[in-house]
């Protein structure tokens, strides 16, 4: 092995072990980096999105979704969002038993300012976990 390769391997291993070490708030540094990066991208998307049109599209999908499919999707989602701050969960009645009608009501009532607040207070670990769950689903298709 060349010295150059050994240095590269050492730096890579050091960085990867550093990035996945636990830090306060039960998030690893890697989860924090992923969470903050995704939240920044989402803020940009929200800024440039016609929220009224996006809400109508999402509500339409929910209205056409069977109750069984909604329950299956929401059960997976709830495992990841159950750790949201209490005020957000209380405001939007986020419980393990949320109904499709409540979800539609929540989506209809939110504005951009509220979306930014939700993004800001969503833990980086939750965002990272949601992102990794999405990647797992995409790989399995």
Q: Give the pLDDT confidence of 2-50 residue by residue, as tens digits.
A: 445 444 444 444 444 444 444 445 778 888 899 999 999 989 988 998 9
What stretch of H or E contains 85? none
Task: State the CB neighbour count (10 A cutoff) for residue 128.
Answer: 22
Q: How far apart are CA 57 and CA 139, in angstroms?
A: 25
Q: Alpha helix (H) ranges present in 49-123?
A: 51-64, 67-81, 86-91, 100-109, 112-121
Residue, of 25 and 91, whose pLDDT is higher: 91
Token output for 111: 């504005």
pLDDT value, residue 88: 87
Give the percent of the chain with pLDDT over 70: 82
Average pLDDT, the chain: 81
pLDDT value, residue 15: 45
pLDDT value, residue 25: 53
pLDDT value, residue 131: 87
- CA dihedral 46→122→131→50, nearest 10 degrees, is -10
Closest CA to 103 of 42, 61, 51: 61
């Amino acid at each position: 092995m060349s010295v150059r390769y050994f240095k590269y391997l050492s730096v890579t291993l050091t960085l990867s072990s550093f990035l996945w070490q636990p830090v306060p708030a039960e998030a690893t540094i890697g989860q924090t980096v992923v969470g903050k990066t995704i939240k920044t991208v989402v803020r940009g998307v929200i800024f440039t999105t016609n929220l009224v049109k996006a809400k109508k599209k999402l509500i339409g999908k929910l209205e056409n979704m069977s109750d069984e499919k909604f329950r299956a999707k929401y059960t997976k989602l709830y495992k990841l969002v159950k750790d949201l701050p209490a005020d957000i969960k209380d405001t939007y009645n986020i419980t393990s038993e949320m109904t499709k009608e409540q979800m539609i009501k929540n989506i209809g009532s939110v504005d951009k300012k509220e979306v930014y607040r939700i993004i800001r207070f969503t833990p980086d670990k939750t965002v990272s976990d949601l992102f990794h769950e999405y990647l797992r689903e995409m790989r399995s298709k």
